[in-house]
Amino acid sequence: MESNGYSIVLEDVSKDYDKSTNVIKNMNLKIYPGELLVFLGPSGCGKSTTLRMIAGLEDPTGGKIIINNKDSRNLNNKQRSIAMVFQDYALYPNMTVYQNLEYALKVHRVPKEERKQRLEKIMESLNLSKYKDRFPAELSGGQKQRVALGRGMAKKTNIFLLDEPLSNIDVQLREKARDQLLQLHNQNGQTILYVTHDQQEAMALGDRIAVINNGIVQMIDTPENVYHNPSNLFVAKFVGSPQINVIQVEYNDSNLITLDGMKLISNYKNIVQKDKRLLLGIRPENISISEKQETESIPVKIDAVTDYGKFKQLTIKVSPEVNLKALTPSWNSNAATAYMKFDQDCILLFDKNTGTRID
Amino acid sequence: MLSNNIQAKEKISSRSGPVKRGKKMNIKPFFYLLPSGILISIFIGFPVLYTLYLSFFNWNLISPTKEFVGFNNYINVFTDPTNRQVMFNTLIYIGILVILNFVIPYLISIIVNFFIGKTKGPYKILFFIPSLFSLVVGAMLFSWILNPVSGPVALILRDYGMKLPQWTNSGSLAIIVICLITNWKVFGYNFILLLTGLGSIPKNIIEAAKIDGIPKWRVIWDIVLPMNKSVSVYVLILTIVEGLQYVFTPLNVITQGGPNYGSSNILYHTYLNGFVLYKTGNASALATVTFIIFLILLALEIKFVEGGRKHAD
Amino acid sequence: MQTNRKSLVWHIPLLLIVLVIILPILFMISNSFKTLHDSYNSILSLIPSHPTLANYITLNHQINLIRVTLNTFGMATLVTLGKISTGLLAAYAFHNFKFHGKKIVYFIFIATIFVPFTTIMIPNYLVISKMNLLNNMLGVALPQMCDAAGIMLFLKAMEKVPTSLVESARIDDIPERKILMNIIIPILKPNIISIGAIFFINSWNEYVWPTLILKDKGSFTLPLALQNYISSEGGTNFPLAMALATIMIIPPLLIYVIFQKYILNSISSSGLK
C-alpha cells in the first residue's frame, strides 16, 4: 500500500490563548504525504499545540491549515481522516480493550464481521489478543500504550498523530514500541506526526524532524542534517548528548582564536562576517585526543574521565576560560595532560547574537 | 536558512490580525443548556422580576386589579413597627445561626482534625445523620424534648426543683429553640465541609511549624485558619443564606412567627404577608429586600471564595 | 502514651455531641412503640416496657399511609431524575464546550443558588396555579427540577475526568451525545449515584414548597402529614407523630447506610474550591 497519507500544510499559522502570549508564531510547514515527521522541542515550545490544531482540537487564531489540499476549516473530522494517540492514552476506563478498539467503528456502523477481522489482526500484531477482555485499569503502561496505538490503527485513517506516546512507559519497552510504530508506518503509509521532547526518539523515528522552540520552527530536515548541519545554535544545542561544545572565539586573519588568546584553528576558510566575535560549536565526538603531540594539536589538561562503557567522556581544560567535553572510544592513560585536535570539517560557526549559522 | 526566513516573515506579517473564523456558531452547547435554562428562566428568572414588579403594587393575590403604590411598600418595610421588629429579629437570627452553625462546628472540626489522632471517620458519619432528616422531624422532636410540661428536659429539671420556661410565649426564647433545631440538622453538614477544608491544608506546612517548636494553638491561629479562609467564608455565607431559609420550617410548624411576630423573620414574614394576610405587595417588597441582602452575600462569596477558582473556562 | 491520654480527653466533648444528636432519634423510635400512657410515665426509658404497634395501626387508620408515602416517593423520584438529567447536560455544556458568554451564563446559573425561596414563591405559586397543577405532584416537582448546586457538583466530578478522553472521542468523530452517554456517564456513575442520593433525600424531606402547593390531604407528602400531627397549642400525640416520623426517616437512613462513603465524599467536595 503506497502513500496512503494526506499532505498537511501550515500557512502562517499562529495561536494565542490571550491576546498577549503567542504560543505559535506564524508557522509555515509542509508535511508530505506518507512521511513520518517528528516535532521535537522542549516542553512548552508549542509542538503539542501545533498537533492539536492539526487534529482540530484547537482553532488557530491566524493562518490556515490545509489537509489533503483542502482548508481544514471546511473539513469535518471524518474528512480530515485523523487518528490520534494521547500522552495519557485516553483509554475509556469503562470499556474493555476490545471495546476500546471497537467503539469508534461501532458508532460509525462498520459491519460487525469487518470490525472483528480488522481488530483481531491489529490485536495480533500488537500482542494484545490475550488482554482483549481486560479493562484499562488492569493493564501495564506498555499494554495501555499498545491499546492506544491499536485504537488509532483500527480507524484506517490517512493521518496518524502521536503526542508523546512513549513518555509514560519504561525505557526498555520504548525501543520495541518504536519498532512497532515504524513497522506500522511501512505497512500503511499513513502520514505520521509524532511529538516528542526526546531527541533520541526523534532521531530513531523521523523521516524528517521539525525542531520547534518558542512557537517557531527552528529547522526542518532529516535527522542527519539536524544533527550534523544544524541551522542555528538552539538546534545544535538541543540535539545531541552529551551537548555540543560552544566556545566564544574571534575570527582573525583566517584564524579562530579563543577570547583568552589561544589559537584553536588556523587557516580556516574565508567567512564573511562583520563582527569578529563568533561562537564555535564542536560536537564532543569530533574532538580527538591523543597523548602524543601532532601538528596543530593543542595541549590540554584532563580534568575528569567518565566511563560510559561504550565510550569515555573526557572533561578537558584548554585554557582558563575554555572547558570542553570530548568523546573517545578508549582512554587508558592516567596522564593529566594530552593533546587535542578539532575535526575541521565538523566545526560549526554561529552568530554571537542571533545564533544563526554563518559558515 | 529556514529559520531566518520564518523569523523574517514573522516580522512582516505578524499581527496582520487573526484570520476570521470560518467556523459556524457552535450551537451544540445551547441544546445542552436548554432544559436547565428553561427551568431556571421560568421558575427563578421570571419570578424574581415579577416579584420586583409586584412590590410596587397593593394586591391581595386574587383580585383582578392591582393598585400602583410606588415605593410605599419599601418605605413600609423600614417604618412599619411589625416589619421593623421582624428585621431586627432577622439580625438576631443571623447572630445566633453564625454562632451555632458556624463557630461551634468550626471549633469541633478543629478538635477533630488536630487533637484526636486518626479517628475522624466515625464522627463524620454520626454527626451527619440528622442532616438526612426533615426539619419537620426536628421540629417535632424538639417540641417534645423541650415541652415545658411533659417533656424529658422539664421532668429532669423538676427533680432539681427547676422549671423550663414556656419558651413558645417568648419571642427571643423561641428564636433560640428554632435555631437549635436547624443546628441539629446542619451541624454535621457544616462540620464536614470545614473538616475537609482543614484536611486539605498540606501536612508538611503544619509539621514544619511543629518542628520549629511553635505551639499548636498558634499554628492553628496563624497558619491553619488563614489558609482555610476560602472554605470558612463559604460555610459562613452558606450558614446565613441557608440558615435563614431553614428556620422557616420549624417556625411554621411550632410558632407561626409568634408570639405576636416575636419569632418571625424577614423570610417568614414574607410568607405570612403573601399567603396568610394576602398583602402581596408588602410580601414582594420584603422578598426583594431579602434578595438584595443575599446578593450582597453573593458578592462577598465571589470576593473571598470564587476568586481563586476558574470553573467556566 | 501521653498524647494518647490527651486525645482521649478530647473525645469526651465529641461523644457528648454524638449523644445529643443521636439520643433524640433513638427516643423517637422508642416512643413510637410506646402507648401514650407509657410515653408520659416512663418518658426516660429507652426500651419500651410494653412495646406496641398500636401507634402505627392508628396512623394507618387516620391517614392513607401508603398513598402519602407513594406521593412522597413519586415526587422525590421525579425531582431527582429531573435534577440529574438537567444537571448532567448543563455541566457537560460548561465543561466540554467553548462558547461565547459562557462565563456569564455560568455566573447566572450559580447566582440562582442565592435567590431566597421567598423571592420566587409568589410568582411560582401563580404559575403553578395557572398551569392547574395545585395539589399535584408535578406542580411540586416541576420548579425544582433544575438545581445550580447540582450542576456545580456534576461539574466538579467531570473535571476529574481527563479531557483527553473527550478529545480522543471527538477526533474519532463520536457524536457529543454518545460521548456523554457512553463515556462520561459510565465513568461518573458513582458520582451520579451519590449526588442523586443527596437530591432524593433533600426532596423527600422537602416541606416549604409543598405546603404552598398541596392543600388537599389526599395529595400530602410525609412532611406535610407529620406537620398535621404537631399542634402548636400543645396536646400533640407524640407517640403517634413519632411513629410517622420513624417511617419517614427510614428511606434516607437506608440510602445513607448503603452509599454513606460516596455521599460524604460528594458533600466534602462541594465545599472545596
pLDDT over threshold 90, residue B28: no
**Contact assessment for residue B66 and residue C127, using Cβ atoms and an 8 Å cutoff:** no
Q: Does A72 touch chain B (CB under 8 A)?
A: no
**Taking residues B257-278, what's their average pLDDT?**
91
Please tell me what DSSP assigns to residue B66. Answer: -
The tally of domains found in chain B comes to 1
pLDDT digits (tens, 9 = 90+) for C83-130: 999 999 999 999 999 888 899 999 999 999 999 999 999 999 999 999
Q: How far is CA A170 from CA A43, A267, C236, in A?
A: 20, 49, 73
- What the block records as the C-alpha cell of B163 is 422549671
**A55, A103, A107 member nearest C171 (Cβ):** A55
Subunits close to B (at least 3 CB pairs below 8 A): A, C
3-state secondary structure of A41: coil
Identify the burial level of C173 via C-beta atoms within 10 angstroms of its C-beta, where 0-12 means exposed, 13-18 middle and 19 or more buried: middle
Q: Which residue has the higher pLDDT, C49 or C120?
A: C120
Q: Is residue C39 part of a domain?
A: no
**CB spacing of A57 vs C178 below 8 angstroms:** no
3-state secondary structure of B247: coil
pLDDT over threshold 60, residue C24: yes
Q: How distant is the Cα of A52 from the closest Cα of chain C, in angstroms?
A: 10
Least reliable range by pLDDT among A11-25, A108-122, C198-212 = A11-25
Quote the pLDDT of residue C234.
64
Residues of chain C contacting A76 with CB distance shorter than 8 Å: 173
* DSSP letter for each residue of C175-212: -HHHIIIIIIHHHTHHHHHHHHHHHHHHHHH--HHHHH
Q: How distant is the Cα of B35 from the closest Cα of chain A, in angstroms?
A: 26
**CB spacing of B3 vs A219 below 8 angstroms:** yes
Q: What is the CATH number of the domain that holds C138?
A: 1.10.3720.10
pLDDT digits (tens, 9 = 90+) for A228-263: 999 999 999 999 888 999 998 888 777 888 888 788
Q: How distant is the Cα of A139 from the closest Cα of chain B, in angstroms?
A: 31
Q: How distant is the Cα of C92 from the closest Cα of chain B, in angstroms?
A: 7
- What the block records as the C-alpha cell of C267 is 458533600
Instruction: Give the pLDDT band of residue A212 (cuts 50, 70, 90).
Output: very high
Q: Which domain holds residue C191?
A: 54-271
Nearest CA in chain C to A91: C165
3-state secondary structure of A134: coil
Q: Domains in chain A, please, with CATH? A: 8-234 (3.40.50.300), 245-351 (2.40.50.140)
pLDDT over threshold 60, residue C1: no
Q: Does A353 touch chain B (CB under 8 A)?
A: no
**B133, B147, B150 member nearest C249 (Cβ):** B133
**CB spacing of B283 vs C122 below 8 angstroms:** yes
Nearest CA in chain B to A29: B6
**CB spacing of B274 vs C230 below 8 angstroms:** no
Identify the burial level of A3 via C-beta atoms within 10 angstroms of its C-beta, where 0-12 means exposed, 13-18 middle and 19 or more buried: middle
Instruction: Collect contacts of C36-44 with beta carbons under 8 A, ≥24 apart.
Output: C36/C237, C36/C239, C36/C240, C39/C238, C39/C239, C40/B150, C43/B150, C43/B151, C43/B152, C43/B155, C44/B152, C44/B155, C44/B156
**Contact assessment for residue A166 and residue A197, using Cβ atoms and an 8 Å cutoff:** no
Nearest CA in chain B to C11: B116
Kindly give, in sequence order, each residue whose CB lies less than 8 Å from that of residue C100, ignoring residues fewer than 6 positions away. none
Q: What is the largest CA-CA distance in chain C?
A: 74
**CB spacing of A88 vs C162 below 8 angstroms:** yes
Buried/exposed code over C111-137 (b: 16+ C-beta within 10 A; e: otherwise) = bbbbbbbbbbbbbbbebbeeeebbbbb
Q: Is residue B58 part of a domain?
A: no
* DSSP letter for each residue of C47-115: S-SS---HHHHHHHHHS-HHHHHHHHHHHHHHHHHHHHHHHHHHHHHHHH---TTHHHHHHHHHHGGGS
Question: Among residues A267, A338, A259, which one has the least CA distance to residue A298?
Answer: A338
Whole-model pTM: value is: 0.85
Q: How many CB atoms are closer than 10 A to CB A270?
A: 7
**Taking residues B190-199, what's their average pLDDT?**
93
Q: How many CB atoms are closer than 10 A to CB C231?
A: 12
Subunits close to A (at least 3 CB pairs below 8 A): B, C
Distance, CA of A150 to chain centre: 23
**Contact assessment for residue A158 and residue A6, using Cβ atoms and an 8 Å cutoff:** yes
pLDDT digits (tens, 9 = 90+) for A286-345: 998 888 888 778 888 988 888 888 888 999 988 887 889 999 888 877 778 888 888 888
**CB spacing of C168 vs A90 below 8 angstroms:** yes
**Taking residues A275-296, what's their average pLDDT?**
86
**CB spacing of A86 vs C182 below 8 angstroms:** no
User: To the nearest whole number, what is the mean pLDDT of chain C?
Assistant: 90
Residues of chain A contacting C170 with CB distance shorter than 8 Å: 56-57, 77
Among B1, B3, B13, B16, the residue to mutate for chain A (most A Cβ within 10 A): B3
Q: Is residue B124 part of a domain?
A: yes
Kindly give, in sequence order, each residue whose CB lies less than 8 Å from that of residue B273, ignoring residues fewer than 6 positions away. B279, B280, B282, B283, B286
pLDDT digits (tens, 9 = 90+) for C239-248: 899 999 999 9
**Contact assessment for residue C109 and residue C95, using Cβ atoms and an 8 Å cutoff:** no
Q: Is residue B246 part of a domain?
A: yes
Q: How distant is the Cα of C78 from the closest Cα of chain A, in angstroms?
A: 28
CA distance B123 to B299: 33
- State the Rg of chain A over Cα: 25
Least reliable range by pLDDT among B48-57, C210-219, C244-253 = C210-219
Q: Which amino acid is at A334?
A: N
Q: Which amino acid is at A239?
A: V
Quote the pLDDT of residue C91.
96
ipTM of the prediction: 0.92
Q: Is residue B48 part of a domain?
A: no
Q: Is residue B196 part of a domain?
A: yes
CA distance B130 to C22: 8
Q: How far is CA C208 from CA A306, B8, B136, B253, in A?
A: 79, 70, 10, 10
Q: How far is CA A114 from CA A111, A151, A154, A158, in A?
A: 5, 15, 11, 19
Please tell me what DSSP assigns to residue A244. Answer: P
Please tell me what DSSP assigns to residue A232. Answer: B
**Taking residues B283-291, what's their average pLDDT?**
95
**Contact assessment for residue A23 and residue A220, using Cβ atoms and an 8 Å cutoff:** no
Question: Among residues C52, C68, C255, C88, which one has the least CA distance to residue C186?
Answer: C88
Residue positions counted in chain B:
313
**Contact assessment for residue A117 and residue A109, using Cβ atoms and an 8 Å cutoff:** no
Which H or E run contains B57?
A: strand B57-58
User: To the nearest whole number, what is the mean pLDDT of chain A?
Assistant: 88
**CB spacing of C114 vs B298 below 8 angstroms:** yes
Q: Is residue B109 part of a domain?
A: yes
Residues of chain C contacting B271 with CB distance shorter than 8 Å: 118, 121
CA distance C108 to C119: 16
Quote the pLDDT of residue A19.
65
- Mutual angle of helices C189-205 and C148-159, in 10-degree steps: 160
Q: Is residue C101 part of a domain?
A: yes
Question: Among residues C228, C221, C226, which one has the least CA distance to residue C202?
Answer: C221
pLDDT over threshold 60, residue B247: yes
CA distance B86 to C99: 45
**Contact assessment for residue B241 and residue B294, using Cβ atoms and an 8 Å cutoff:** yes
Quote the pLDDT of residue B311.
41
**CB spacing of A14 vs B3 below 8 angstroms:** no
Kindly give, in sequence order, each residue whose CB lies less than 8 Å from that of residue C15, ignoring residues fewer than 6 positions away. none
CA distance B294 to C114: 6
- What the block records as the C-alpha cell of A90 is 485516553
Q: Is residue B24 part of a domain?
A: no
Residues of chain C contacting B191 with CB distance shorter than 8 Å: none
**CB spacing of B3 vs A216 below 8 angstroms:** yes
**CB spacing of C109 vs B40 below 8 angstroms:** yes
Q: What percent of chain B has pLDDT above 90?
A: 55
**Contact assessment for residue A266 and residue A296, using Cβ atoms and an 8 Å cutoff:** yes
**B10, B14, B22 member nearest A73 (Cβ):** B22
Quote the pLDDT of residue A241.
85
The tally of domains found in chain C comes to 1
Q: How far is CA A155 from CA A158, A281, A318, B34, B120, in A?
A: 9, 46, 58, 34, 51
**CB spacing of A94 vs C186 below 8 angstroms:** yes
**B35, B46, B256 member nearest C86 (Cβ):** B35
CA distance C159 to C266: 14
Kindly give, in sequence order, each residue whose CB lies less than 8 Å from that of residue C258, ignoring residues fewer than 6 positions away. none
Quote the pLDDT of residue B171.
87
Residue positions counted in chain C:
273
CA distance A215 to A221: 17
Nearest CA in chain B to C92: B32
pLDDT digits (tens, 9 = 90+) for B61-117: 888 888 899 899 999 899 999 999 999 999 999 999 999 999 999 999 999 988 887
E-assigned strand segments in chain A: 8-16, 22-31, 36-40, 62-67, 70-71, 82-85, 159-163, 191-196, 208-213, 216-221, 245-252, 255-258, 263-265, 277-282, 287-290, 298-307, 312-319, 322-328, 337-342, 348-351
Q: Which domain holds residue B227?
A: 67-307
Residues of chain B contacting A59 with CB distance shorter than 8 Å: 21, 23
pLDDT over threshold 90, residue B11: no
Quote the pLDDT of residue A265.
81
Q: What is the CATH number of the domain that holds B214?
A: 1.10.3720.10
Quote the pLDDT of residue C115.
94
Q: How far is CA C63 from CA A104, A234, B135, B144, C249, in A?
A: 56, 84, 21, 22, 18
**A61, A71, A220 member nearest B18 (Cβ):** A61
**Taking residues C178-185, what's their average pLDDT?**
95
**Contact assessment for residue A159 and residue A113, using Cβ atoms and an 8 Å cutoff:** no
Task: Tell me if the bond preceding A242 is cis, omega within 30° of 0.
Answer: yes
Q: Does C178 touch chain A (CB under 8 A)?
A: yes
**CB spacing of C172 vs A77 below 8 angstroms:** yes
**A26, A62, A357 member nearest B9 (Cβ):** A26
Least reliable range by pLDDT among A13-22, B272-281, C47-56, C189-198 = A13-22
